[in-house]
Amino acid sequence: MIVNAFLSALGQLGDPRFRRVLLIGFALTIALLVAATSGFVWLVGWLTADSVDVPWIGTITWLDDVLTWASFFVFLVLSMFLMIPVASVITSMFLDDVAGAVEDRHYAHLPAAKGTGFGDGLVDTVNFLGVLVAANIVAIILYVFLPFGTVFIFWGLNGFLLGREYFTLVAMRRVGRAEAKVLRREHVGTIWIAGTLMAIPLTIPFLNLVIPILGAATFTHIYHQLTAGRPVSNPES
């Protein structure tokens, strides 16, 4: 089911609405990471003295330059991890467009989805960003103590979080928040596996900007396959 859902999503990658979300997500992700890197480097430079007196050596005037460049490369490495939650969160802001495109092509017989509304979507997006960033920062600490398990921790953690969030957002469009949580608990294993399969290619630069869109489309298919024949309840916010 997961493979079929992904292949169906992949086959629709050329959809104009998919391309629109990809371009917006790419532009916002790069802009945000450039701004964050510039701000971090500026802060390090501002906190570092222009010169430092070292016993037996004398005055060192190049320390601030070294720390500034070092902070740039440190944040560049961190951005490889942070780009994943940032790109995923930005894409989730436009999930309605992706899910709508999937449903128009594959589930046109269904009534129009209620949607989540801009306010609820914004709140969920901000909360999701906080959880993803905090979890990945904690994971960086685990990577230090468990270097051989780094890739598996990364995949498992982000797979769980991405699957949980994307499935919930897709389901909320149809059945509301409360029923979406019930469905998520019932199918937690399938959702985690699908999220992990989505998280694996997120470690590949630039491809990780496309995967969130394919993930949103894949979870739209998964939702409809899991709920086929299920009585539809009244959506609750």
Has residue 158 been placed in a domain?
Answer: yes
Q: What is the distance, to the nearest Å, from the Cα of residue 77 to the centroid of all Cα atoms in its chain?
A: 17
Coil, helix or strand at residue 52: strand
Which residues constitute the domain of residue 151?
Answer: 2-23+83-226
- Pick out the chain residues at pLDDT < 50: 52, 54, 58, 234-237
Report pLDDT digits (tens) over 136-148: 778 878 888 888 8
Q: What is the C-alpha to C-alpha distance for residues 108 and 216, in angstroms, rounded to an integer?
A: 18
Has residue 207 been placed in a domain?
Answer: yes
Total structural domains within the chain: 1
Has residue 9 been placed in a domain?
Answer: yes
What are the CA-CA distances from residue 202 to residues 105, 129, 148, 224 (Å)?
26, 16, 19, 24
Check: CB of residue 156 under 8 Å from CB of residue 196: yes
Structure tokens at 125: 């997006």
Q: Which residues face 58 on adjacent strands?
A: 54
Has residue 70 been placed in a domain?
Answer: no
Has residue 139 been placed in a domain?
Answer: yes
Q: What pLDDT score was predicted for residue 237? A: 43
Q: Which residues face 54 on adjacent strands?
A: 58
Has residue 34 been placed in a domain?
Answer: no
Has residue 221 been placed in a domain?
Answer: yes
In order, the DSSP letters of 39-57 are HHHHHHHHHS-S-EEETTT
Has residue 151 been placed in a domain?
Answer: yes
H or E element, residue 80:
helix 63-93
